[in-house]
Structure 1
């Protein structure tokens, strides 16, 4: 089981990286929803299914919109 290092780094298990085709140098996105940390491979449309319930608010930054949507779910 991966542990968080003193630098707050996490090593992703090789079997999960293989399953998701995550290669060294790939970018990942992380976010918290309902108290769960989620990490996804950053590629166009990768979060579409996971975040389909989130409505974009054009008068906010992406981060403000995401945080607002997550807060509204509770």
Structure 2
């Protein structure tokens, strides 16, 4: 059984780490939803180049794009 230590640390079973390909020093994103905790291993460089083919629209400044995003989110996405 896995326990939370007084330092809020959790030790994962070796067999689980072996199956998941986890190593000491790996970094994770930690998500919580409805009382469940999910760990997502972060792979350095995994998203590198993901948006590389997308070119900015020169008609809009970064500020205009940011302000539009803020406005859309405050309007509920409309």
TM-score (norm 2): 0.52
**Matched residue count:** 48
Structure 2 unaligned spans of 5+: 48-65, 71-78
Structure 1 unaligned spans of 5+: 46-57, 61-74
Q: Deviation per CA, 1:3-61, whole angstroms, max 9, x where unpaired?
A: 0000010001111111110001111121102221111211236xxxxxxxxxxxx757x
Structure-2 separation of matches of 1:39 and 1:3? 16
Tell whether 2:42 aligns with 1:42: yes
- Runs (4+) of structure 1 moved beyond 6 Å? none
| Aligned alpha-carbon RMSD (Å) | 2.1
Q: Which has the larger radius of gyration?
A: 2
Structure-2 separation of matches of 1:17 and 1:29? 16
TM-score (norm 1): 0.54
